[in-house]
Amino acid sequence: MELYLENGYTSLNKKGEELCGDKVEAVSAGGYTTVVLADGLGSGVKANILATLTSKILCTMVSSGIELEECISTIIQTLPVCKVRGVAYATFSVVYVHTSGRGYLFEFDNPAAIYLHEGQCVDFNRTEHNYFGKTVYISELNLVKDDCIILMSDGVIHAGIGKVLNLGWLREDVMEYLSRTIKRSMSARCIACLLGGACNDLYIDEPGDDTTVAVIKIREVAPVSVMVGPPVDKTQDDFYIGKFLTDKGKKVVCGGTSSQIVARHLHQEISSALDFPDKDVPPIGYIKGVDLTTEGVLTLRKLLALSEKYKSATDLTPKYFTKRDGASMLANILFEEATHIRFFVGQSINSAHQGLPIDITMKLKLVETLTKNLKETGKIVEVHYD
């Protein structure tokens, strides 16, 4: 079974601050994923700069394979100590893990990370180490499919303090909440948003501290192929469709002409849904052998709007799409379910669009922007033009 590491995060700014004092940095290369959550002392611009400096240095060093002790000692010696409080100017949690599930976690003064295993939240086996007078906790990782690591800044355990809760949100209660609400199908970004939204509710929409949740999830590879438009050379239709259909994973067809070509190749009929869950999105179609069939440009436009909200680290709307219109269903497949996405983009000009403000350039631009947004959420994306 081929496994894939995905990550996602969400951040809430302290009330009245334009910048967040927490920073998440992530790099994936050579089968390894490195995720750093740094929390700068205080809030606002200074905290943001300190957290950014910390996360950048650590992510660069750890992902480059530099020894753990050198990474920790470099950052501890680099960061100054607050003369008033006697604490470091930034705290951090770092995950370095391979797609095999093996790796390590080390934490300095952030709330202890939570390990989601077999649907239940538990603690890591942490060992205490001392570097230059600072206590760092290190955990060995041996993740299996659907395991998650949940990193958080102290804004999470401070949530609700002095408002809904007297002592804030105890870590044990956070674990109980996650064990109860997380579903196996949820992506890393969805889980981060779920916890971030709960914190925002406890703060009554007025966070008293910068609050960040970062999640790393190991999951089975889930490829999806998307066909957008027929090829320029009509004699290549069968070859083009053959490549599309022989790909592994789910199949999605966008566009009326594309649907007709695919249906003809499969010797199937196209049927259309009769309901309009969203008045701005044309109804979906059905072709036996294809997982989802949608209209083209209008659906892609709506999909792009959904993707902008999905990738935003500050948007707390749920990251799973329950509506049954074509754009929402496609968004759920691409952003929640897929790990690897391959676009087959035909550049044929649709005669039905003559006289309308729709052309091939618009379609290509939609795919290009959508590809960028997918990559920003950690998806592996390929685009083939025909």
**What is the token pair recorded at 308?**
């902008």
C-alpha neighbours within 13 Å on the C-beta side of residue 111: 23
| Confidence bin at 277 (pLDDT 50/70/90) | confident
Q: What is the mean pLDDT of residues 199-221?
A: 95
> What integer best gives the mean pLDDT of the chain?
90
Query: Percent helix, strand, coil in the chain (nearest 5)?
Result: 35, 30, 35
Q: Per-domain residue ranges for the chain?
A: 3-220, 223-385
For the entire predicted model, the pTM comes to 0.91
Cβ atoms < 10 Å from Cβ of 360: 16
Cβ atoms < 10 Å from Cβ of 122: 12
Choose among 84, 107, 104, 103: nearest CA to 38: 107
Residue 151: strand pairing partners: 214
Amino acid 380: pLDDT = 95
Q: What Å distances lie between residue 296 and 226, 264, 312, 327, CA to CA?
A: 11, 18, 25, 10
Amino acid 88: pLDDT = 58
Question: Which runs of E-coded beta strand occur in the chain?
Answer: 3-12, 22-29, 32-40, 90-98, 102-108, 114-117, 120-122, 127-131, 134-142, 148-152, 211-220, 223-228, 250-254, 271-272, 285-286, 292-294, 340-345, 380-385
| pLDDT exceeds cutoff 70 at 350 | no
Top mean pLDDT of 265-279, 312-326, 332-346 is at 332-346
- Span 3-220 CATH architecture: 4-Layer Sandwich (3.60)
With H, G, I as helix, E, B as strand and everything else as coil, classify residue 68: helix
* Cα–chain center distance at 268: 36
Amino acid 357: pLDDT = 47
Amino acid 78: pLDDT = 76
Give the model confidence (pLDDT) of 300-338 as tens digits.
999 999 999 999 999 988 888 888 999 999 999 999 999
Quick one: which H or E segment has residue 307? helix 297-311
β-strand pairing of 340-345 with 223-228:
parallel
d(Cα 22, Cα 50) in Å, to the nearest integer?
A: 9
| pLDDT exceeds cutoff 60 at 281 | yes
